[in-house]
Amino acid sequence: MGRPLRIEYPGALYHITSRGNERKEIFLDDEDRVKLSEIVKDYHTRYGILIHAYVFMDNHYHLLLETPKANLVKVMHGLNGGYTGYFNRRYGRSGHLFQGRYRGILVEKDTYLVSLSQYIHLNPVRAKIVDKPEKYPWSSYPAYIGGAEEEEWVEYSWVLSQFGNAKSETRREYRKYVEEGVRGKGGNPLNDLHCQIVLGKEAFRKKIKGMVKGKPLSNEIVDRKRFRENPLPDHIIRLVARAWKADSEAIMDRRNKNNIARKVAIHFVQRYSGLTNEEVGKIFGGLHPSSISKASARLKQAIACDKKLLGLVEEVESKVKV
């Protein structure tokens, strides 16, 4: 797998999950959890990160992490690397502690920060470690509801501000909200995850797609065709028609099956529009889905024998991919 795409910009919010290699424990006692807390506190001070919620389980941890300075990669490299170094020294081991790279989901703050904080705080309950989230000490939740001293590196105010004005009121109302989750109300916000990497409404997803336009997408983005801001079929066909000095309507007419511009257009629409073969077939006069694949294959054969054609195809392709 290639290096996963990390989208960074000032003020970005991420749901971070980092798991132990082979799902092994990354905390063997409370001293280990204290150490990770100290590292996060240090990075809060040094790099200006905001932690809205956290939980340290046995073999993984969750952070709701905001980066006012667009420095996620630097922060997470130091955080996980620093903790791995400590863990290896303490226990006389070497090698990786975490399972690959951390998972970082980009989150629309206004829509999902509160529900994700509930999801994170309920981790110990779902794991059946405790029956009430406030009984688990290695979480930001006890301090959220006034059951523990607030930690200077945790940003409580934004979430609590969604539940009222007076602090006593916001704590009470937030507690009610989390307890609704204990009773099974509220659902899992991660069910709304888009392409395994973005959690937000359509306008937010469109914004993020615009940020990665023209950049290669890694295997971390499972549905890469759907995530990419794809060029429209009409745009692709116009580019091909212009290059071959042809008519767009003629290119889409199935009676022109031997037209090279038509084959190029079919190939590019199939490859870059994100549409299925069936949808592409309808655009080009009702072709059977299998005919779409065959048209692309025939074009590749023609290109292999014609360098001039190859050059023209590559020139159009460079414009389609912009």
Pull the structure tokens for residue 149: 């001293």
More confident of the two residues 167 and 256? 167
Domain boundaries for CATH 3.30.70.1290 within the chain? 12-224
Class of domain 12-224 (CATH, top level): alpha beta
pLDDT at 129 over 70: yes
What rounded mean pLDDT belongs to the chain?
Answer: 89
More confident of the two residues 185 and 286? 286
Distance of CA 101 to the CA centre of its chain: 13
DSSP assignment of 262-312, as one string?
A: HHHHHHHHHHHS---HHHHHHHTTS--HHHHHHHHHHHHHHHHT-HHHHHH
- pLDDT class of 55 with cuts at 50, 70, 90: very high
Pull the structure tokens for residue 27: 């905390």
- pLDDT class of 30 with cuts at 50, 70, 90: very high
Question: Looking at residue 322, what is its pLDDT?
Answer: 62
Domain boundaries for CATH 1.10.1750.10 within the chain? 230-320
Class of domain 230-320 (CATH, top level): mainly alpha
Q: What is the pTM of this model?
A: 0.71
Q: Could you read off the pLDDT of 137-153 as tens digits, one per residue?
A: 999 999 999 999 999 99
Question: Looking at residue 92, what is its pLDDT?
Answer: 97
Strand runs labelled E in 166-235:
198-199
Pull the structure tokens for residue 58: 């046995």
pLDDT at 86 over 60: yes
Helix or strand run (H / E) with residue 104:
strand 103-107
Do residues 203 and 1 lie in contact, with contact meaning Cβ atoms separated by under 8 Å?
no
More confident of the two residues 228 and 94? 94
Place of tokens 């590559």: 314
Do residues 114 and 144 lie in contact, with contact meaning Cβ atoms separated by under 8 Å?
no
- Distance between CA atoms of residues 104 and 28, nearest Å: 24
Question: Looking at residue 217, what is its pLDDT?
Answer: 52
- Distance between CA atoms of residues 267 and 174, nearest Å: 54
Q: Which bin fits 93, alpha (ψ -120 to 50), beta or left (φ > 0)?
A: beta
- Distance between CA atoms of residues 243 and 39, nearest Å: 57
Residue type, 209: K
Burial class for 225, CB neighbours closer than 10 Å (0-12, 13-18, 19+): middle
